[in-house]
Structure 1
Amino acid sequence: MTQLFFWLDILGTAVFAISGVLVAAKAGMDPFGAIILGVMTAVGGGTIRDIILDHGPIFWVTDSTDLVVAIVVSMISILFIRYTSFINYPKWILSSFDAVGLSVFVGIGVNKAIASDVNGLVAICMGVLTGVGGGVLRDVLAREVPMVFRVDIYATACIAGGMVHVSAYEYFGLNLENSMLLGMVTILTIRFLAICWHLQLPTVSAKHKQ
């Protein structure tokens, strides 16, 4: 099971790095900017989480696997975009892989928070931050409204998955691995339904009197 989580983490890191490079390409950034955006998307959420939790050395400092994967995938993505039509990929492909990475990152964030002996609400928040933090940094640097703040059902899926994860562990006595799996399944289900059926949250808009 641990090996499965490891490879899913690698997959999530790679997909998040690709999404950062794609945003950089659309914004007309140079290769250095694209690598920075790719790496920040991949490891940004976990970095912020570790800083908030005062978790000692940030995760990619003690084990640089995710950092290396993010850099290498970002560089390869730049070459693909430069010499192929990779940027015109079908949107559902990256969205589907992104859903897998998102579910793993949220689960890792919740587990790390629980290990830091915080309450359930904080654990959920740390899971959501781990999942969406890098994407928020990516979009802010690219001068876009972060996807998590738009109508797509994204952060909502993370919150639901985090709640299932924490509830399964704290109230139903499941171990962390099985609790994480339940949370991941919840996130994947909501995200895949949103992708397939184009589900969206209503926008917040004020009605102006004529």
Structure 2
Amino acid sequence: MLLTALELLGLVAFAASGALAAVRARLDVFGVVVVGLTTALGGGIIRDVLLGIHPPTTLRNWPYLAVCAATALVVFAFHPQVAKLRRAVLLADAIGLGVFATAGTTIALASGATVYAACLIGMTTGIGGGVARDLLLREIPLVLRKEIYAMAALAGAALVGVGHALLLPPGPVTVVAAAVVVAIRMLALWRRWNAPVARGSGDG
């Protein structure tokens, strides 16, 4: 129940971030909804395709689509107010990243993937929607730039992999690993940590 609630919170956060980006790009209401849905559901769809789960889980459960579409429409209608809740959106986004990255790893392990493959699939689950969003908006994906985002997702996925190798109960391990992802992400935002870029690249 807790993981389901956190997953829904993550979906709402991802859909809101995608919809806000689409509003800033001056897309129409249909475009805003599409980008919101893609941001929220893209990672899970990529995960299921990689694991051979057809049709993808999020496309079989209509509440996922309904929640994400409703969130995108709310953002479209009230985007000035939503934009003011930046810290709350960032926290919810971090929670979503943690939940999706760790749950994606757990699902991959349960589907028979190796620990190595499961960790990569888990990271992809967490960041896939954001990458798809940026590509739709013709931007270099945020996770490929300086921010500590993909590395936080990979750290959480790796913790789940370690727990699996040590035969620890998957439920508590997933929750703890998700919390670690949130902590890394929020600490990086607070301290303004960034991954290094090549010297002389024109970025500082």
- When normalised by structure 2's length, the TM-score is 0.94
Matches of 2:77 and 2:67, distance apart in 1: 16
1:55 matched to 2:49: no
Amino acid at match of 1:140: L
Contact 2:20 2:83 in 1 (8 A): no
Pairing of 1:69-148 with structure 2 (within 5 A): 69-81=67-79, 85-86=80-81, 88-148=83-143
Q: What is the match of residue 172 of structure 2?
A: 178
Contact 1:16 1:41 in 2 (8 A): yes
Aligned residues between the structures:
202
Amino acid at match of 2:119: I
- What displacement does 1:91 show? 3.2
Q: Deviation string for 1:57-105 (max 9, x for gaps)?
A: 2102332221111111111111112xxx225425332211100111111
Q: RMSD of the TM alignment (CA)? A: 1.5
Matches of 1:180 and 1:207, distance apart in 2: 38
Q: What is the match of residue 184 of structure 2?
A: 190
1:45 matched to 2:76: no
- Bigger mean CA deviation after superposition, 6-15 or 85-94: 85-94
Which of the residues 7, 11, 17 maps onto 1:13? 11
Amino acid at match of 2:15: A
Q: Which consecutive residues of structure 1, in runs of 5 or more, have no partner in the other structure?
A: none
Matches of 1:177 and 1:87, distance apart in 2: 33
Matches of 2:183 and 2:201, distance apart in 1: 34
The percent identity for this pair of structures is 33
- When normalised by structure 1's length, the TM-score is 0.91
Contact 2:152 2:181 in 1 (8 A): yes
Counterparts in 2 of 1:104 and 1:49: CA distance versus 1, 3 Å: same
- What displacement does 1:182 show? 2.1
Q: What is the match of residue 155 of structure 1?
A: 150
Q: Which consecutive residues of structure 2, in runs of 5 or more, have no partner in the other structure?
A: none
Which of the residues 62, 65, 69 maps onto 2:63? 65
Matches of 2:83 and 2:163, distance apart in 1: 40
Amino acid at match of 1:12: G
Q: Deviation string for 1:1-24 (max 9, x for gaps)?
A: xx1101101100000000011110
